[in-house]
Structure 1
Amino acid sequence: MTTNQGRGHRLTLMSPPSPAPGEPVPGATGPAEVERHASWLELFFDLIAVAGVAQLASLLRGAPGHGEVLLYCLLNLAFWTAWGCAS
């Protein structure tokens, strides 16, 4: 990628080449560490998790009473337990 910086000066930005799939990542501490990419299904599941947290947070909008806070804690515990078991 090339960008212009000021008058007539060019700055070329280059990223280092990424390793091929299955090759160790440069700077890794051991042979077991290889670069792993998330699948589209995992990314979609994480997006659903973020939307769920946003919906739970809406319970705490305004001035929540003790009932709303207790409901939030209970639902948050159930949500994160389900998310942790599935991922």
Structure 2
Amino acid sequence: MSWKSWGFLLGGAVLVLAACFVYLQVEQTRCAYRVAQLQQAYGKWYEVHRRLEIERTHLRSHKRLRELGRDVFGLEPARGDRLWTFADPK
């Protein structure tokens, strides 16, 4: 092979490597945008989850349930003669 052939071969290899480098840079940028989108979606999901947990805690609070039982359903605390107690099974 002559020097000219080696030059074309080396030039072609450099062009292929440059094209691969550009492709990798484009893919890296695309993946970075996708990661940013996923982080934003996760942040929104996390905020909704946090609000739902707060709401669930509020809805299950003993104070609220007592007030609902008394005000809405007309319930009263159980009298002492209606309480059942069980021995601790050991």
Q: RCO higher in 1 or 2 (8 Å CA, sep ≥ 6)?
A: 1
Q: Return the index of the structure with the highest Cα Rg.
A: 2
TM-score (norm 2): 0.28
TM-score (norm 1): 0.29
Q: Which one has a larger percent strand, Structure 1 or Structure 2?
A: 1
